[in-house]
Structures are given as structure tokens and as C-alpha cells.
Structure 1
Amino acid sequence: MAGSSHGHTPAAWTGVTVAFIGFLIAGVFTVAAQPLGVLAGLVVVALGGVVGMAMRAAGMGQEKPAASEATAQS
């Protein structure tokens, strides 16, 4: 797995960063006992996934290997 470029794309980094910020927001509001803030943080987490998928669809993610390459590596 180390030989592949798994996760080394702008789409992956951006999606994970946005999700991480959402977890931080939710964590802070959990400690502060503010349920609406926790929900807002969870919305940001979900937004991280949407942003990552949108960036991948825009061509900033990892390219899928051709069918012949995928069977040759197995």
C-alpha cells in the first residue's frame, strides 16, 4: 500500500482538513454542553466529505488505474 499514492491528493487533504475542523468544533461544543454547536460541527464534518468528493469529481483526486493495470498488480 505504501507504493501507491493513496490519499496524497488535494481532494483528500482538503476533505480531511475540513472534517478535522468539524470534529474540533463538535468537540469544543460538546465540552461546553451546547447541542446546536455540536450539530454545527457534525455538519462541517459531513461538508468535508462533500468537498472531497466534489474536488475528486473536478479532477483533483487520484486517477483510477486502467483495468489492465489493476489486474496486473493483483
Structure 2
Amino acid sequence: MSIDRDLLTELRNAYNFTAQDGQTWAAWVETALRAHVARCRADLGFPDGVPGSGVLAPRAGVRTGRPPKNTP
């Protein structure tokens, strides 16, 4: 998987502007992802501590998991 160059530039700029002193890139990305997941959980109305906590439950009718690989 690769990240679009413009998105990566935007992420690096955000990191340079907002990272705490001594905060690594990996720690900053983890914090950003955790905040994003928390917003998604709140938007979908999942309370904290639901069974399977840490995994976003699928909406009815939404496929989950990886799509099948394309085989030539």
C-alpha cells in the first residue's frame, strides 16, 4: 500500500506543527488514528466498552473483512 504524496505531505506538515516535544512520528500517527476511531464510534452511536470494544461493529448489510483478491 502506498500513500498519496500530497496526503503524506499534509500529514508531515501537521506532525511538524502539532507534535509534542519528543513525540515520534509513530506515536503521533497512533494518536491521530485513535482520535479518528473515537470520532467514528461516537458518530455511529457506539458507547465505550461495548462487547468487542476496540472494533467498530458493522452496520446492518455492510460487508466486512477484506474483499476477495482478484485472480487473473
Q: TM over 0.5, yes or no?
A: no
In proportion to residue count, which structure has more helix? 1
Give the TM-score of the pair, scaled to structure 1. 0.33
TM-score by length of 2: 0.34
